[in-house]
Amino acid sequence: MITLVNVSKVIGKQKVLDCIDLQLEDGQIHAFFGANGSGKSMLFRSICGLIKPTEGKVVINGNTLHKDCSFPDSIGIVIESPGFWESYTGLENLKMLASIKNKIDIKEIRRNIARVGLDPDDRRNFKKYSLGMKQRLAIAQAIMEQPDILILDEPTNALDEDGVDLVRSIILEEKHRGATILIASHNKEDLDILADKRFRVKNGKVTSEDGESN
């Protein structure tokens, strides 16, 4: 379970996360929506361990981030613009990322590139990819090691209709595999199709869809 206890984050004089208490159950899709600048990406960054709360704590499966561990042990992330080595192919990029933990082999890397609708044998460098192709590769790197937690910020961004349908199917497949999934999306259809639970983010505060403050 992912638990946030009184989590606040202050940057400069701005409180970007404001006293958030939240429990997210395993194996469900938790959808977060709100205006740009509302705090969604900062919330996701705190759960990933990429930022340390000014106050409060984030607990992942009993381990407190920045105390018991720096990052969740098993997590796949797509937050904001995908960052890859521009002079390498998609396959080369994922091979380098996979070498960090050595959990999967080249066959699994190729399978996940194909799974998102890309050609693992495409010799184009990443810098020549379209925005949609870059987004697909980002999804592939997030899912390729079968993480326990998936955090996807605007996962259908820059995708055509077929790409949107494919990514939604992949997200549901990952849920059925047992992953705990957090998504943020401006696409209401994403929320309608995917979400088990919904949360509104506004001014750094999180409120569940039934109106209960978190």
Model confidence over 26-45: pLDDT tens digits? Answer: 999 999 999 988 999 999 99
Q: For 157-197, write each residue's pLDDT tens digit.
A: 999 999 999 999 999 999 999 999 999 988 889 999 999 99
Strand partners, 3: 23, 59
For residues 98 and 87, is the Cβ–Cβ distance under 8 A? Answer: no
Mean of per-residue pLDDT scores for the chain: 94
pLDDT at 121 over 70: yes
* pLDDT of amino acid 210: 61
pLDDT at 61 over 60: yes
* pLDDT of amino acid 81: 74
* pLDDT of amino acid 12: 92
Q: For 76-119, write each residue's pLDDT tens digit.
A: 999 977 789 999 999 999 999 999 999 999 999 999 999 999 99
Q: What is the pTM of this model?
A: 0.93
* pLDDT of amino acid 211: 44
* pLDDT of amino acid 187: 86
pLDDT at 25 over 80: yes
* pLDDT of amino acid 193: 94
Instruction: Supply the DSSP symbol for 81.
Output: S
pLDDT at 214 over 70: no
> Residue 31 to residues 62, 98, 100, 191, 207: CA-CA distances in angstroms?
22, 28, 29, 6, 12
Count the helices and strands in the chain (H runs, E runs): 6, 10
Average pLDDT over residues 145-161: 95
